């Protein structure tokens, strides 16, 4: 089968399309014919070798795939051949024609969700769900700023928060991104590439500040975020690419809190809860993964460059 292989850590150029054997499922495992694989920022951190997770080399990147169950190992009961599924991690990597996964890593993909959309479920929706429900304990009627709402996690969070009954403020770095964030349900949108946009956000809340912030780039925004919080407000750090200096008094004055988490560190019970919530959201139409671009698997290098550029528009998906 064709698969992207990483034989050394480094820049996007280390992603190579190779011919490797199709893996065969062992007990409790299934083989999925991959129809689409989602590209996430952490795939690039891992590939560079600088991330907390350094997989043994060589490896095939990617945790998010959608496809059809092709073969089953002994004792598999959760899925059967021909099932449409999305993966939440795999054993062999998602950037490939086939992916091996534990049966517990496979989840039903509703008919109305395309394979390309299915490749944008686990990391984006799992992260948004954990941030909103399990970390921030968001409640209907609260106000929420999604700081970086135009990408994979951000669009998922906009849909989720809107369905939950929050007042949603979203930011993007381009006009096209703003249009997307508005379309997916944000009540107000702000251009984070424009100077002084934080004042516009504060003004939109009548000077009160927002109850919750989901932050996609904390190293740039955390200090300013604290000044946008209402009393008792909370920032959930989802993404950060460096260090940041904050003024702790901004927290003290507001009795505010900064929270953070990594999706790969959640426990089994949390993961079950997240999948149940995602399944309901997909079924009822509230969660609609946004596919911004579909690239052939051979263009994985380009996908890893584009995912880190500004001008996000939903998900970038690779098609084997
Ligand atoms: P993505 O699809 O590449 O989107 C990135 C988002 O960040 C876009 O909305 C982008 O907006 C926005 N952004 C860029 N510059 C910004 C700025 N100065 N201020 C605010 N937002 C800015 O990535 P993603 O999948 O949504 O992930 C977002 C971040 O969360 C990444 O850093 C990722 O590594 C992290 N993450 C963390 C976890 C976790 O477990 N904690 C899980 C998933 C993702 P424009 O492009 O429109 O400027």
* Domains in the chain with CATH codes: 2-121+289-319 (3.90.180.10), 123-264 (3.40.50.720)
What per-residue confidence (pLDDT) applies to 141? 98
Tell how far the Cα of 49 is from the centroid of ligand 1, in angstroms.
20
CA of 117 to the centre of ligand 1 (A): 18
**Residue count (the chain):** 320
Distance between CA 127 and CA 140 in Å, rounded?
19
User: For the range 199-204, what are the long-range contacts, defined as Cβ-Cβ under 8 Å and sequence gap of 24 or more?
Assistant: 201/145, 201/169, 201/228, 202/227, 202/228, 204/169
- What's the angle, vertex CA 208, arms to CA 218 and CA 216, rounded to 5? 15
Residue 136: its pLDDT value, please?
Answer: 98
Confidence at residue 154, expressed as pLDDT on a 0 to 100 scale:
98
217 lines ligand 1 (CB under 6 A): yes
262 touches ligand 1 (CB under 6 Å): yes
pLDDT value at residue 139: 98
Helices (H), 184-318: 197-204, 218-226, 248-254, 268-284, 300-306
Ligand 1 centroid vs 153 CA: distance in angstroms? 7
Residue linked to tokens 């750090």: 237
Q: Is the CB of 173 under 6 A from ligand 1?
A: yes
Whether residue 310 has its Cβ less than 6 Å from ligand 1: yes
Question: Which ligand 1 atom is nearest residue 315's CA?
Answer: 2
192 touches ligand 1 (CB under 6 Å): yes
Q: What's the CA-to-centroid distance between 126 and ligand 1, angstroms? A: 14
Cβ-Cβ contacts under 8 Å for 165 (sequence gap 6 or more): 140, 141
Question: Is 239 close to ligand 1, i.e. is its CB under 6 Å away?
Answer: yes
End-to-end CA distance of the chain: 10
What single DSSP character describes residue 91?
Answer: S
pLDDT, position 258:
98
Supply the pLDDT for residue 61.
98
Ligand 1 atom 5: the closest Cα is on which residue? 151
Closest Cα to atom 7 of ligand 1: 148
Q: For ligand 1, atom 35, name the residue with the nearest CA.
A: 239
- Ligand 1 center from residue 55 Cα (angstroms): 23
**CA-40 nearest atom, ligand 1:** 25
Cβ atoms of residues 68 and 85 within 8 Å: yes
Q: How many helices (H) and strands (E) does the chain have?
A: 10, 15
Geometric angle at alpha carbon 307, from 37 and 50, rounded to 5°: 95
pLDDT at residue 314, rounded to an integer: 98
pLDDT in tens, 229-270: 999 999 999 999 999 999 999 999 999 999 999 999 999 999
| Percent of the chain residues topping a pLDDT of 90 | 100
Q: Would you state the pLDDT for residue 98?
A: 99
Sequence-ordered list of residues with C-beta below 8 angstroms from that of 179, at least 6 positions apart, any chain: none
Q: What angle do CA 315, 260, 46 make, to 5 degrees?
A: 50
Q: Map residue 316 onto helix, strand or coil.
A: strand
Question: Angle formed by the axes of helices 175-183 and 152-164, to 10°?
Answer: 30
Instruction: Report pTM.
Output: 0.98
Q: Is 160 in the pocket of ligand 1 (CB under 6 A)?
A: no
HSE value, Cβ hemisphere, 13 Å, CA-based, for 72? 13
Q: Which residues of the chain have pLDDT under 50?
A: none
Helix (H) or strand (E) holding 58: none
C-beta of 291 in contact with ligand 1 (< 6 A)? no
What pLDDT is attached to residue 281? 98
């Amino acid at each position: 089968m064709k698969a992207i292989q990483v034989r050394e850590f480094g820049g996007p150029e280390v992603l190579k399309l190779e011919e490797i054997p199709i893996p065969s499922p062992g007990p409790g495992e299934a083989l999925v014919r991959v129809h689409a694989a989602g590209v996430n920022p952490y795939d690039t951190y891992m590939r560079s070798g600088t991330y907390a997770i350094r997989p043994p080399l060589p490896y095939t990147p990617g945790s998010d795939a959608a496809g059809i169950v092709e073969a089953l190992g002994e004792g598999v009961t959760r899925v059967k051949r021909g099932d449409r599924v999305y993966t939440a991690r795999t054993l062999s990597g998602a950037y490939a024609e086939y992916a091996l996964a534990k049966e517990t890593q496979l989840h039903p993909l509703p008919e109305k969700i395309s394979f390309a959309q299915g490749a944008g479920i686990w990391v984006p929706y799992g992260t948004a769900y954990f941030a909103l429900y399990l970390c921030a304990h968001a409640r209907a009627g609260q106000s929420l700023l999604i700081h970086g709402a135009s990408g994979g996690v951000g669009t998922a969070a906009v849909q989720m928060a809107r369905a939950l009954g929050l007042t949603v403020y979203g930011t993007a770095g381009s006009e096209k991104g703003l249009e997307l964030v508005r379309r997916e349900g944000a009540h107000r949108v702000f251009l984070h590439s424009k100077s002084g946009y934080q004042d516009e956000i504060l003004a939109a809340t009548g000077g009160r500040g927002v109850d919750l912030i989901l932050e996609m780039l904390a190293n740039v925004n955390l200090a300013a975020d604290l000044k946008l919080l209402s009393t008792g407000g909370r920032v959930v750090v989802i993404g950060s690419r460096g260090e940041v200096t904050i003024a702790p008094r901004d927290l003290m004055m507001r009795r505010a809190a900064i929270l953070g988490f990594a999706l790969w560190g959640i426990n089994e019970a949390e993961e079950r809860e997240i999948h149940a919530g995602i399944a309901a959201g997909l079924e009822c139409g509230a969660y609609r993964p946004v596919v911004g671009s579909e690239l052939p698997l051979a263009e994985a290098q380009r996908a890893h460059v584009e995912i880190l550029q500004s001008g996000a528009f939903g998900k970038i998906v690779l098609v084997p």
